[in-house]
Amino acid sequence: MKKLIQLSIIGILLASCGGGGNNSIETVIASNDLEELRAKRDAVSENIKSLEDQVKLLDSAILELDDNAKLPLVTTMEITPKEFQHYLELQGDVMTRQNVLVYPEMAGTLNRVYVKEGQRVAKGQLLASIDDGGLSNQLAQMKTQLELAETTFERQKRLWDQNIGSEIQYLQAKTQFEAQENAVKQMESQLGKSSIRAPFSGIIDDVIKDQGTVVSPGPGSEVFRIVNLSDMYVEVEVPEAHLPNVTPGKAVEVFFPVLGESVSTQVRQTGNFINPSNRAFTVEIPVSNKNGTIKPNLTAQVKINDYTSKEAILIPQSVVSENAEGEQYVYLVVEENGEQIAKKAIVELGKTQGDFVEVLDGLLAKTNLIVEGARRVREGQSVKILDSTATANK
């Protein structure tokens, strides 16, 4: 404001001094006389200072006489109900049920490894083979014996069907055939353990044992780690106080800080057990992983929608004050006798989200709430509105 006054004064001086006459500014500038220029500048500066002093005197007189100049300046907003989504913010970790270590089922030398790290494999695909220690040769012999037992049984059965031969011969042939058949199946099962196959479709994350290594069943003999990244989920611990509001189907926003990516999903499953150590229950949230960038144990920031109101009244938290009785209140502007008056309203507050809080009771739609200047007004005081906005949460 002061600069504006100065510019106006300078404009007036230039206008008044810029006309004809030997002492005009244009004449002095045209003279190219340094001393005369400095003298003219000093004279103009003195005139400006004199005018500024006069303006100050006029401002003081105006303030004494103008009641509106003493009114507190405030900005207001018209309260408009709208949908309110409250989110419970937690942190969780990415998990997958298909992340396993593959162990050998029999002891022996790892003859050959057929896959490498990062390779995608299908369920049942052969990953490695173990020296069977001669079991394949034994199986071949047993199959030969099975063929002989089967032939003997079939011939004995045809004779028995023709009432030729004794029953004991038929039963002996049948028993020998069935026993040999079971022995072959057992040997095939045992020999199958020499082949290490993928338990599910996924990616070979790690080849732990090298070809030629002696392996055996049990801890410490894992050969591969296989991971399926298509069925991922985030696991979070939710405080028990939120048990009624966090249920399957609730909307969830999952953000991965490391990747800078967000995923919209829903709660798939809630735990049926409260952990006594932290009084929380587990929630499972599926996440899509089409690009394969989400990895097990990746940290995720989770926002679960635990409360929704279709017609909520929201106000900035900064305008709420508290009195000596612990009641929370805000100031409204109402018009009385042509004046804008500040009125105190006791409010009951609900959930908060960001900079806004829901008002459960005490405010009505279409009322004007004091936003800026709320801390400087008092009950029944006249105010001057500088600006008004239409909504509480733009």
* Cα 293 from chain centre: 16
At residue 94, the pLDDT reads 93
**In percent, how much of the chain has pLDDT > 90?**
28
At residue 18, the pLDDT reads 46
Question: Among 193, 218, 235, where does a domain finish?
Answer: 193
Q: End-to-end alpha-carbon separation of the chain, Å? A: 31
Q: Is residue 376 part of a domain?
A: yes
Distance (Å, rounded) from C-alpha 372 to C-alpha 355? Answer: 14
Residue 129: CA count within 13 A, CB half-sphere: 10
- Map residue 331 onto helix, strand or coil: strand
Contacts of 377 (CB under 8 A, 6+ apart): 72, 74, 331, 342, 370, 383
Residues 232 and 299 in one domain: yes
Q: Is residue 117 part of a domain?
A: no
Residues 315 and 371 in one domain: yes
Residues 185 and 231 in one domain: no
Count the neighbouring beta carbons within 10 Å of the beta carbon of residue 378.
10
Q: Which of 53, 40, 39 is nearest to 6 (CA)?
A: 53
pLDDT in tens, the chain (394 residues): 444 444 555 555 455 444 444 467 888 788 888 888 888 888 888 888 888 888 878 766 765 565 555 677 888 888 889 888 899 999 999 998 888 899 998 888 888 999 998 898 999 999 999 988 888 888 888 889 889 988 988 888 888 888 887 888 888 888 998 999 999 998 888 888 888 999 988 889 889 988 888 888 888 889 999 988 888 899 999 999 999 999 999 999 999 999 999 999 999 999 999 999 999 999 999 998 888 888 889 999 999 998 888 889 999 998 999 888 889 999 999 888 888 888 999 999 998 888 899 999 988 888 889 888 888 888 888 888 887 664 444 4
What CATH number has the domain bearing residue 79? 2.40.420.20
At residue 73, the pLDDT reads 84
**Backbone phi and psi for residue 385, each to the nearest 5 degrees, phi listed first:** -90, 120
Residues 320 and 339 in one domain: yes
Write the pLDDT tens digit of every residue in 54-95: 887 876 676 556 555 567 788 888 888 988 889 999 999 999
Q: Is residue 110 part of a domain?
A: no
**Backbone phi and psi for residue 321, each to the nearest 5 degrees, phi listed first:** -120, 170
Residues 48 and 78 in one domain: no
Angle at 384 between CA 378 and CA 387, to 5 degrees: 115
At residue 21, the pLDDT reads 43
At residue 5, the pLDDT reads 47
How many domains is the chain built from?
Answer: 4
Global model pTM greater than 0.95: no
Residue 176: CA count within 13 A, CB half-sphere: 19
Residues 287 and 244 in one domain: yes
Write the pLDDT tens digit of every residue in 199-214: 988 889 889 988 888 8
Contacts of 95 (CB under 8 A, 6+ apart): 232, 233, 234, 235, 296, 297
Question: Among 146, 173, 193, where does a domain finish?
Answer: 193
At residue 139, the pLDDT reads 85
Residues 78 and 93 in one domain: no
At residue 236, the pLDDT reads 95
At residue 64, the pLDDT reads 59
At residue 17, the pLDDT reads 47
If phi > 0 it is left, if psi is from -120 to 50 it is alpha, else beta; for residue 388 that is beta
Stretch (H or E) spanning 148: helix 135-161
Distance (Å, rounded) from C-alpha 317 to C-alpha 305? Answer: 21
At residue 19, the pLDDT reads 43
Distance (Å, rounded) from C-alpha 387 to C-alpha 10? Answer: 32
**Structural domain of residue 171, as residue ranges?**
132-193
At residue 392, the pLDDT reads 46
Write the pLDDT tens digit of every residue in 299-310: 999 999 988 888
Residues 335 and 303 in one domain: no
Residue labelled with tokens 């034994």: 138
Q: Is-contact 328 334, C-beta < 8 A?
A: no
Q: Is residue 354 part of a domain?
A: yes
Distance (Å, rounded) from C-alpha 362 to C-alpha 311? Answer: 15
Residues 240 and 301 in one domain: yes
Residues 93 and 240 in one domain: yes
At residue 380, the pLDDT reads 85
Residues 263 and 324 in one domain: no
What CATH number has the domain bearing residue 240? 2.40.30.170
Residues 93 and 239 in one domain: yes
Distance (Å, rounded) from C-alpha 179 to C-alpha 159? Answer: 21
Q: Is-contact 236 242, C-beta < 8 A?
A: no
Distance (Å, rounded) from C-alpha 241 to C-alpha 61? Answer: 63
